[in-house]
Amino acid sequence: MPQTMAGPVPRLADYGIDEATGFLSNPPPLRRLPAYFEPWEQVLDDLHQLLVAGALRTRVRKLPMMDTSRLGPKPEWHRAFMVLSFIAHSHIIGIPKVDTVEPIIPEVIARPWFAIAKKLELKPVISYAAVELANWFLLDPEGPLDLSNIAIQHTFSGVFDEAWFYLIPLGMEAVGAPSIKAMVDAQEAILRDDESAVAAALHIVTDCIDKMCVMLKRMYEKNDPHIFWSRIRNYSGGSKNNANLPNGLFFEGVTEIDADVNQCVPPPKGLVGTWRCYAGASAGQSPLIHSLDVGLGVHHASMPQKSSDSPATKAPAVNPMLEMREYLSAEQRAFFKALGEAPSIREYVSSLSSTSAAQIEFNNAIRALKSFRDIHIQITTVYIILQQKKEAASTGAMSPKGTVGTGGTDLVPFLRQTRQETIDALVKST
């Protein structure tokens, strides 16, 4: 039966979502900022060479202070956010396992980066929004939106393994894009009490997730696990739960106090600014994945806290998937809210017979999403957990008890809980 108390079905265009390309912008992201911002662009042009020469940090400190108010349309702001994210994290990391991690971000980068992030309602940290959604182009502007034609604008390391690591999620965003319209089509059909239309829309969702599974499995093709672990992964890390950055990152010249500031540590001597802690880039920041969770009614609960945590100091329990939404754009977060308040697909199919096509298609979609998360766990095992164990064995260190993801989460419990929450969304026959 239709749900009269639900909110309106969201219009994709109201949230900057393209019916054909989904969360991949149409036209593609900007490839260069206006001439005034050439000092930033030139650092990015020379990024790999500066890192190899050990000259990046000196070059960054010599940058002029740029006026962010001279940025124009929104694509320029997104480009600037991506450019500064690459420069800042290159300055922090240098070359992994060669250079010492630098926790202080110079004012010439920290202030404009923070201002741009605030304008976009993003966090000033490397994120999916930067390395994925603002970092691609089409080899042939008239060609297809798929891996045969999508290319990466910038990488930290200069190796094709890193480009492939970014390309696979973009490929998933592309093949999964029709599922977004299909879910809102299903919600429209619920208002008409049209079971067959709901079933047809859910069939599209399942087909999209199946294609995303195939795409995710291609990660192994051109991304060597050892290269990923030793040369790529570090750049994606944030300062949350990062042993190399116990106080977070110091944003020189940024004095604003908010929830991300670590006020327990004083500024370095002679400097003015704030210590800040952020999660890094994570696949858990994909707006497509969050849309599927919200649209299909996958409920993410707070993760249990360790009994050894001190009640006086531990933060409130939160589910990492929900926390990752804070790293998505304001438009995307608004879309998830509207999608969740519109007619519930899961609630609707639950009211139908277990033999109805709509309920069967819904469960097929949930099972496909569970398979997707199975594949993600397998890839995480190969690229992170096993590599961490190999590194520990090679140095004679004890194998670590847990693995922290680039998003700052306790990786294995987080992924397992998310998979179980997906299974729990299945509509069971009564």
Give residue-wise pLDDT tens across range 151-166.
999 999 999 999 999 9
Q: How far apart are CA 225 and CA 248, in angstroms?
A: 27
Region label for 66, one of left (φ > 0), alpha (ψ between -120 and 50) or beta (otherwise):
beta
What number is the average pLDDT over the span 76-86?
A: 98
Greater confidence (327 vs 6) lies with 327
**Dihedral (C-alpha) 341, 282, 158, 164: value to the nearest 10 degrees?**
-70
pLDDT recorded at residue 304: 58
Query: 3-state class of 58 per DSSP?
Result: helix
Tens digits of residue pLDDT in 186-244: 999 999 999 999 999 999 999 999 999 999 999 999 999 999 999 999 999 999 889 99
Q: Based on the number of CB atoms within 10 Å of its own CB, is 298 exposed (0-12), middle (13-18) or buried (19 or more)? A: buried
What number is the average pLDDT over the span 365-380?
A: 97
pLDDT recorded at residue 413: 82
What number is the average pLDDT over the span 179-183?
A: 98
Listing DSSP states for 229-290 in one string gives IIIIHHHH--STT-TT-TT-EEEET-----TTB-TTSPPPTT--EEEE------GGG-HHHH
Q: How far apart are CA 309 and CA 334, in angstroms?
A: 34
Please, are residues 254 and 110 in contact by the beta-carbon 8 Å criterion? yes
% the chain with pLDDT above 70: 92
Tens digits of residue pLDDT in 259-309: 999 999 999 999 999 999 999 999 899 999 999 999 999 999 876 554 434
Token pair of 183 as six digits = 């879910």
pLDDT recorded at residue 3: 60
pLDDT recorded at residue 100: 97
Beta strand pairing status for 249-252 and 104-105?
Answer: parallel
What number is the average pLDDT over the span 95-122?
A: 97
% the chain with pLDDT above 90: 85
Would you give the DSSP letter of residue 291? Answer: H
Please, are residues 101 and 92 in contact by the beta-carbon 8 Å criterion? yes
Does 406 have pLDDT greater than 90? Answer: no
What number is the average pLDDT over the span 364-393?
A: 95
Number of residues written out for the chain? 430
Please, are residues 63 and 109 in contact by the beta-carbon 8 Å criterion? yes
Provide CB contacts within 8 A for 159, sequence distance 6+.
227, 231, 232
Measured between alpha carbons, how far is residue 343 from residues 94, 198, 321, 327, 428 in Å? 49, 12, 22, 26, 20
pLDDT recorded at residue 57: 98
Q: How far apart are CA 326 and CA 213, in angstroms?
A: 25
Tens digits of residue pLDDT in 34-67: 999 999 999 999 999 999 999 999 999 999 999 9
Would you give the DSSP letter of residue 405? Answer: -
Query: Residue 245: which pLDDT band, with cuts at 50, 70 and 90?
Result: very high
pLDDT recorded at residue 405: 61
Does 149 have pLDDT greater than 90? Answer: yes
Q: Return the HEC string of 167-184.
A: HHHHHHHHHHCHHHHHHH
- The secondary element (H helix, E strand) that includes residue 150 is strand 150-152
Q: Based on the number of CB atoms within 10 Å of its own CB, is 67 exposed (0-12), middle (13-18) or buried (19 or more)? A: exposed
Q: Which residue is listed with tokens 């106090």?
A: 257
Identify the CA nearest to 293 among candidates 332, 251, 261.
332
Q: Which amino acid is at 421?
A: E
Instruction: Look over the chain and give the mean of its residue pLDDT values, rounded to a whole number.
Output: 93
pTM, rounded to two decimals: 0.93
Token pair of 279 as six digits = 């999660």
Tens digits of residue pLDDT in 300-345: 987 655 443 433 334 556 788 899 999 999 999 999 999 999 999 9
Does 399 have pLDDT greater than 70? Answer: no
pLDDT recorded at residue 402: 61
Please, are residues 176 and 208 in contact by the beta-carbon 8 Å criterion? yes
Quote the Cα angle for 353-358-363, to 5°: 90
pLDDT recorded at residue 50: 98
